[in-house]
Amino acid sequence: MTNIINHQVRLAGRPEGLPKSSDWEFTETEVPDLQDGQVLVKIHYISVDPAMRGWMNDRDTYVPALKLGDVMRALTVGEVMASENPAFAMGDFVAGFDGVQEYAISDGSALMKADTNLAPLSAYLNSLGIAGLTAYCGLIEVGTPKAGETVVVSGAAGSVGSHVGQIAKIKGCRTVGIAGGARKCAFLIDELGFDAVIDYKNEALDAGLARTCPDGIDIFFDNVGGEVLDAALARINFHARVVICGAISQYNNTEPVEGPSNYLSLLIRSARLEGFIYLNWQKQWPAMISELAKWRADGKLNCPDDIVEGGLKAFPDTLLRLFSGDNFGKLMIKLA
């Protein structure tokens, strides 16, 4: 044994609706000695993501369902403390799926080195990690934007949505964001260069889309689902692409997911609706990260880190911030 004590957050219950404190258990264990091929990582930042809500259900998705008692799944970035794996050395910074805990031992197969000369470590959960990569895969690979097209993104002030809008601008598109509240909408226009915004908490979606998209929508990048998706479908253009990235309005439903009633727009407009998971492009990630890093260095990608201090104890309340809209930028918990 190493004499290092690890603390973890484990799944203790299956929530109905929003997660509650009794769905979590806090544990501690001693870090065992490394076996041949293993790597010990000290986690510095834990990514807090809407997908975590789905991972709490007793249902396989694009990843297997967690069992009760498992360490909560999470993307992480951290530092290699010890290595019995020739691909990693002490002091390397790495990104991985190491969970809501302070230390993780793995065989290294899911670890990716993070070059902290290129960007600070937290960026590998933000523009050079899940947020930037999801926007890149969904907009460029699935949405295939062309200069002059109108791109509408929901959840626009969030970590994925803000990257989508900025990449759409880089590609020469007209960019419209849907977000909640005056502060987020002002940020999109003043700081990120969106062409127009709809504050869905203060303007009816149909009216907002008619006002901001008089020539219709060529790409709708959806992070929200439900009535937002329905309203956007009503305004899509011929050969539009509707990219299903997420449906955060539906994740805590106790009723069945609300499907779009306007789906026949896809038929009338010869349009395409396609979902995706950014994990499907892992082979292309290094090239995508290089491009994202260049845009970031050139000041074309800006998404604040929303960093929560307070260690693992902060995790249950931090997760809830995503569903109240209380986060501003990429939400993560700082451990070290």
Angle value at C-alpha 290, between 287 and 292, nearest 5 degrees: 110
Q: Distance between CA atoms of 86 and 149, rounded to whole angstroms?
A: 48
Helix axes 285-297, 159-170, angle to 10 degrees: 80
Of the candidate residues 96, 108, 143, 158, the single one contacting ligand NAP (CB under 6 A):
158
Q: Distance between CA atoms of 286 and 292, rounded to whole angstroms?
A: 10
The 8-class DSSP code of residue 214 comes to: T
CB of 313 to ligand NAP, least distance (A): 21
- In 3-state terms, what secondary structure has residue 195? coil
Of the candidate residues 85, 237, 249, 318, the single one contacting ligand NAP (CB under 6 A):
249
Interface residues for ligand NAP in 190-229 (CB under 6 A)? Answer: 223-224
Q: Distance between CA atoms of 74 and 312, rounded to whole angstroms?
A: 12
CB of 65 to ligand NAP, least distance (A): 17
Of the candidate residues 101, 122, 150, 159, the single one contacting ligand NAP (CB under 6 A):
159
Tokens of 266: 């896809």
Q: Is 10 in the site for ligand NAP (CB under 6 A)?
A: no
Question: Which residue, 78 or 132, has its beta carbon nearer to ligand NAP?
Answer: 132
Q: Is 263 in the site for ligand NAP (CB under 6 A)?
A: no
Interface residues for ligand NAP in 27-86 (CB under 6 A)? Answer: 49-51
**3-state helix, strand and coil shares in percent for the chain, rounded to the nearest 5:** 30, 25, 45
Tokens of 206: 């149909």
Judged by CB under 6 A, the stretch of 89-97, 112-120, 273-281, 311-319 that binds ligand NAP is 273-281
CB of 140 to ligand NAP, least distance (A): 13
How far is the CA of 239 from the CAs of 50, 143, 245, in angstroms? 30, 11, 19
Q: Is 8 in the site for ligand NAP (CB under 6 A)?
A: no
Which residues contact ligand NAP (rule: CB under 6 A)? 49-51, 130-131, 134, 155, 157-161, 179-181, 184, 223-224, 245-249, 276-278, 322-323, 325, 327
